[in-house]
Structure 1
Amino acid sequence: MSSATVERGRDQRPAPSGLVASGVIELAAGALSGWVYAAVRYDGDGARKLRIKSPARIRQWHLDLIALGTGTVAIGLAVPNAPKGIQRSLAGGAWMNAMMFLPLAYRPELLANPVYRALGLGSFVATSVGFTGMAVSAVRRLRADRR
């Protein structure tokens, strides 16, 4: 950091939005979850040691954290200052959607549980509202800019 970006010990660069920060943290969690995936994938006894019944769900969990974290960062940077409710819906839904795979690694039968299914549906609603709302915000800004 150069002295031009620091004044009185404070970083003068703009802080990322809550949505972007959430996506960056989710992406970091995805990177860290790769250790669990590697333990399950490359250690023949890894899944048993970790009491994992469905190793494929660990892969889904790992990839969803990375994909949704990346998508959240990208759309948060592409459409800054979108409505807060839309941003919150996306951030919450992205985390919830990815994290829904982890319990299934340990208890695959949860997929038939009505409470689990309702939570899963809620995560899809939240991400759908979030990503679609961000797209609507982007299109509105584009149209307004063309006028």
Structure 2
Amino acid sequence: MSSLVNIGMFELAFGAVLGWLITLRLESPETLRRFGVTQPRRLLQMHIDFVMMGIILIAVGLAVPDLPTWIAAPLVFGTIMNPLGFLPLAFSEEQRRKAYYRVIITLSFIGTSGGLTAAAVFAL
């Protein structure tokens, strides 16, 4: 099995486990507040994004099992960092205005979109 499929399975599983935070949000919202979460909806976004990114990696890994590392590496970076980008926003929406956040998110978008585009071209 390709590394992309393995990483995608991990992301999918992690996203599924994050679903428990959504249950906690609904059943006991004060628990999340005690941990400093002010925007619990961002946790839902992270949960959904990890599931989607995991499925994307699995699909790419199965469709193009011999994808070169120079394409796979930025793709993996992007599919991990895109969902993780919601985590700091769960604690403070102000994070999105900070330079470090913008740089990391921009790089993750480039990694994902560039990696998927390169994978599509490589598969031709």
The structure 2 residue matched to 1:111, chosen from 96, 104, 110, is 96
> Contact 1:23 / 1:73 at 8 angstroms: preserved in 2?
yes
Q: Which has the higher contact order (CA 8 A, sep 6+)?
A: 2
Matched letter for residue 114 of structure 1: A
Is residue 126 of structure 1 aligned with residue 90 of structure 2?
no
Q: Aligned with 2:65: secondary structure?
A: coil
Q: Give the structure-1-normalised TM-score.
A: 0.79
Is residue 84 of structure 1 aligned with residue 88 of structure 2?
no
Q: Aligned with 2:52: secondary structure?
A: helix
For these two proteins, the number of residue pairs brought into alignment is: 124
Q: Aligned with 1:45: secondary structure?
A: helix
Structure 1 unmatched runs, 5+:
1-15, 141-147
The structure 2 residue matched to 1:70, chosen from 55, 64, 67, is 55
Q: CA RMSD in A?
A: 1.2
Is residue 59 of structure 1 aligned with residue 44 of structure 2?
yes
Q: Deviations over 1:52-72 (max 9, x none)?
A: 110111011000000001111
Q: Give the structure-2-normalised TM-score.
A: 0.93
Residue 46 (structure 1) shift: 3.5
Structure 2 unmatched runs, 5+:
none
Q: Where has structure 1 moved over 4 Å in runs of 4 or more?
A: none
Is residue 43 of structure 1 aligned with residue 43 of structure 2?
no
Give the aligned partner of residue 10 of structure 1: none
Q: Which has the larger radius of gyration?
A: 1
Q: Aligned with 1:53: secondary structure?
A: coil
